[in-house]
Amino acid sequence: MKRILIGHRGVGKSALLERHTNYFPEDPVFDLDQVIAEKENQAVSEIFSARGEAVFRDLEKKYFQELIAQKGYVISVGAGFNTQLLPTDAEVIYVSRRTDSDGRIFVNRPRLNPEVSALQEYLLRYQAREPKFRAAASWVYHLPEGLNDSDEIEEKILKKEFSLEHAYFTLSRESEIELWPNIDKFELRTDIFSLEDIKRIIAEHKEKRFLVAVRSKVSALELRGLRVDWALENGPVPTVANAQIISLHDGEFIEGLALMQQQPEGKHLKFCPVVNSFDELLLGLHWQSDDRQNRSFLPRTKDGEKSRWRWFRNLMWRKQKINFVQSVKDFDDQPSLYEYLLSQNPHKQFGAVLGDPIHHSRTPITQGPNMADYGMIMAVPLSEDEFMQGMEVLREMGLKFAAVTSPLKLKAAELIGSSETESGINSLIYHEGQWLGTSSDADGFETMVEESEIENLKNLKIAIWGGGGVISALKEVLPQAVEYSARTGKPRDEKADPAFVPDVVIWAAPRHPDIQLPPAAWNPKYILDINYVENSMGLEYVQATLSATYISGLEMFYAQAKKQFKFWAHYLTVS
């Protein structure tokens, strides 16, 4: 085996390398940064600070070339590694997470450009490196958020021991066919490959099944004998094209739906519009459900926006004939291999984690093993404005249980008619014709406090910075805490002592341009961040202090998840 893992800072390459050893115990693995540190008898951070980045890059090249001289290897390289040094005979896996583009702030890694903020430093390098990673990659592994332990689905992907029973793999380059001997259905798009190359590829791989998606102007006569998906953007379907599938992608939703309804019988219709609301999603679902054998509905998100409907495609795998899996080229609404395999069991009850944004959520992975006998959980983007409408549509689609994140917790309380209007609801279950709910925020925060190892925490001076719908849960555990608005910087209680200086700041604010950092004079000893996202402004605040100890909200999240599972399992039946 010759494999090399590339990817952005903090994505999880080193941890994946460790898991790779469990899946392939016979293959030697090397973390290049660790090799450099051992060979030079100096930590990477020290090499950067004492000898400079240029020296480190020279060492990186030297020891990398020594490693690839071996007969076999699995190597993880740093984010700044020169991809032009990658050998052509190695399988290069670009390890990517949906949160890569959000940015990450590190409190335990060397700064590379202290002249800009830590977040801006990451984002500038992300923008420069992303196209290089995709160009160098043999394939992209979309690593799920929160996957830390050895995992059956991940093992199947890395061993290539799976099949795509209900989906086509969208090819970005011809070499992917050889990379995936276990996959037998591929989509070839005319806006990616020339028609000449498409015909050659099909002729050279007669054992595979190909769908030719006509997305550009081509000669209809040359399509004879091919399995064709004709996009109506190219005009009416030519008789000579003999298209088995007729699709539509552009234009307004309502006009597009009307056009699809006018298409002749005997063809499979594939409707792929930009969908702007849950009302439109429901219309598309009803259209597809009226003739599942001959219709497929694949909603898309506006270009430049985070995917809103990838979860819907996962949910529909076995309910329609045409589906697609994402490859190297970034079609964000196409599910990844991991997402596809996660949603394969058709008997699982539909669960969701709801929020806006929600692509960072670790709930699907964290709850997955717990909920294996009950249901599958998918991240569903849902804003405050569309919450009630969205919940009606999701319920019609079979939503049975949900985890609710900020800023939707108060809306969830309203949904069930709860009096918990201050703290909100973070767990929902549909039982006997109605939504029931509870909140595990206080339990989670109490666990975070107990496991923080801060001595006499409840006797220290504490400030809550921000908080919104979780303030009452935080105050339930630490009633002496003083609340502050993160937008104005002022205490919520007018009677609060203006000279108050806390020992502990509980960071409970989201990332937003209006959010301020606390007064510089505070300089707390501890910062408890109830967020766990890797670009939290709580991490920025840590860097702005002199020596504060940072405590992540992950412990709070895991404790919340345990109570959520108990709540759901009380009502759910094993499927």
| 310-314, 347-351, 474-478: range with lowest mean pLDDT | 347-351
**N-to-C CA span, the chain:** 40
pLDDT over 70 (residue 419): no
| 198-202, 207-211, 386-390, 447-451: range with lowest mean pLDDT | 447-451
pLDDT over 80 (residue 312): yes
Alpha-carbon distance of 72 to 75, in angstroms, equals 10
pLDDT over 90 (residue 165): no
**pLDDT at residue 20 in the model:** 97
Would you say the pTM of this structure is higher than 0.75? yes
* Domains of the chain, residue spans: 2-155, 162-344, 443-557
Which CATH architecture best describes the domain 2-155? 3-Layer(aba) Sandwich (3.40)
pLDDT over 80 (residue 422): no
**pLDDT at residue 266 in the model:** 87
Indicate if 443-557 has the same CATH topology as 162-344. Answer: no
pLDDT over 90 (residue 37): yes
pLDDT over 90 (residue 112): no
**Mean pLDDT along residues 185-196:** 95
Angle between helices 554-571 and 441-450 in degrees, nearest 10: 140
555: its two tokens? 């412990």
Per-residue model confidence as pLDDT tens digits over 44-99: 889 988 898 899 999 999 999 999 999 999 999 999 999 999 999 999 999 999 99
**Mean pLDDT along residues 378-398:** 95
**pLDDT at residue 423 in the model:** 66
Is 131 exposed, middle or buried, given 0-12, 13-18 or 19+ CB atoms closer than 10 A?
Answer: exposed
Angle between helices 32-40 and 53-67 in degrees, nearest 10: 110
| CATH code 3.40.1160.10 for 162-344 | no
Matching residue, tokens 């990379």: 179
- Could you give the 3-state DSSP secondary structure of residue 558? helix
pLDDT over 70 (residue 346): no
**Mean pLDDT along residues 20-43:** 95
Kindly report the average pLDDT of the chain as a whole number.
Answer: 92
Per-residue model confidence as pLDDT tens digits over 271-281: 999 999 999 99
**pLDDT at residue 546 in the model:** 78
**pLDDT at residue 160 in the model:** 96
Per-residue model confidence as pLDDT tens digits over 209-238: 999 999 998 888 899 889 999 999 999 998
pLDDT over 90 (residue 456): no
User: Would you mind telling me the total number of residues written for the chain in this entry?
Assistant: 575
pLDDT over 80 (residue 251): yes
Which strands, in side-by-side order, build the sheet including 29-31? 29-31, 73-76, 2-6, 91-96, 139-142
- CATH code reported for the domain at 443-557: 3.40.50.720
Query: Confidence band (pLDDT; 50, 70, 90) for 255?
Result: very high
Query: Confidence band (pLDDT; 50, 70, 90) for 331?
Result: confident
Query: Confidence band (pLDDT; 50, 70, 90) for 467?
Result: confident
Query: Confidence band (pLDDT; 50, 70, 90) for 240?
Result: confident
